[in-house]
Structure 1
C-alpha cells in the first residue's frame, strides 16, 4: 500500500488529482511522498505522469472540465489497482463532497431522477445501493430547489486557515499560527464583506442563507472572530439561516459560542473527525 503523494502542475488539474488520490486512500505528503504526480499543459492537452517506485504511468486528456474528470477517473482506477483494492468501489469513480450537486445537474439535463441516476451509473460505475441513496436524497431536495426567485442569494465566507492538517483533507489550507499577514487578511475580508453588503443593497437582494466555512473559521482569535461575525450579521435578515462551521472542537470555546448566539448565528455545522466512537 502507498500513503503519501506529491503533485506539481496546473492548479485546476491538481484539485481533481487531490480528490481522486484521497478517494484511493492517499494524503498529501511534501516530505516523503511515495507517489509522484507531475502534470503539464501544452497546446490544449494535459499530460499527467504518475511515478511509484520503478512504475511509471502516463495519462492524457483535453484541457477542459471533462478532460480533467477523465484523467481523475483513470488515475483513481490505476491507484486502486496498484494497491490491490477492489476494482469496483461503492461510489465507483465519483469523488468529491457534493454528489447531489451533479445529480441535480443531470436531472435538469435528462428530466428525471431515474434518467439522471442511470447516467451516473454509466459514467461513474456507482453501485446500485449508493444510486438508490443518491436518488432518494435528490427527490427530497428538489422542492427546495424549485424556487427561482433571482433576488434570493446564498453567500459563503471562507476562512482558509487551520491550526493543524486533518489527514483526510484534500482542500487548500494554511496554518494560521504560521501566517504573518493575519491583520492584512482580516482587513481585506472586512472590505469584501462591506462590498457584498453594498451589492446586496444596490440590487435589492435577500440573503437566504449565509455559511461561514473554511478551513477552520473558529481558528480566528476570539475578538477577531467576533468582529467578523458582527460584519457578516449585517448581511442576514432575521429568520434566515446563518451557519458557522464548527467542526474542529479544539478551536471552539464558550467565548466564541456566546459571540455566535449574540450575533444571530442560528446553526452550526459539526463534522465528525472520526467514525470510531472511542
Structure 2
C-alpha cells in the first residue's frame, strides 16, 4: 500500500502541531517559521521571555512558554499546557542549548559544566520524557533532537558541550528504538557550526577552529539545517528512527 504525501510546500504540516524549544531565535525560530508557513501550529518554548514574545508575533505562534528546560517540573507543566493549547502534540524539536566555557578539561569551570549538562542533556531528556506520552497516546509523533558533530568527534576546549551532545545522540538512539512500534519516530540532527546567535557565546578562535574542520570551507546556514529538521519532523520521514542526520559540510562521514 503506497502512501501519498502532501506537496512539502503546500501544507506539509497541515493539521500538525509542534513544540519547539529554543524557539525564540536561531534554528528553533527558523524551523517554526517553516512549519507555520507549511500549515502547522507551533508552541515555542524559550528562556528569553522578551525574545519569545517578539518571535511569536513574527512567526504566528499559537502558544508560548517562557521556561528553563533544566527545570523538570516546568517542562512537565509546559507540555500539558501545550497539549491543551494545540489540541495535540505531533512534533517535538528540541533545539534549546548553550555552548558553555571554552577551556581544557583540567581547567574547566565546574559551574559551566553543570549548566551545559543541565540544559543540553538533562533538559532535552525532560522534554522527550514529558512530550512522548502524548504522542504515544495518539499513535503518531516525530521527535527531532538537535545534537552536534561535536558529539561525534569531540571539540577541544569544549568538553561539556561535546559530552552533552554525545549524550543526546545516545539518548535518541535509545528513544527511537523504544518507540519504533508506537508510530513515533525519534532522530537526532548533527550539524557542524552554522551561523547562529549561539556563536556569540564563543571566542572567535573557537569559531575559526570549527570552520577550519569543514571541508566545504564555510559555516553552515540556518536554513540548511532547518530544511533537514523539517524533513525529519514530517510524515515523509517514516522508516528512519534512532538515527542521526548530518548537516556538516562534509566534516562527519559516519
What TM-score does the superposition give when structure 1 sets the normalisation length?
Answer: 0.30
Higher relative contact order (CA 8 A, sep 6+): 2
Flag the structure with higher strand content.
1
Higher Rg: 1
What TM-score does the superposition give when structure 2 sets the normalisation length?
Answer: 0.32
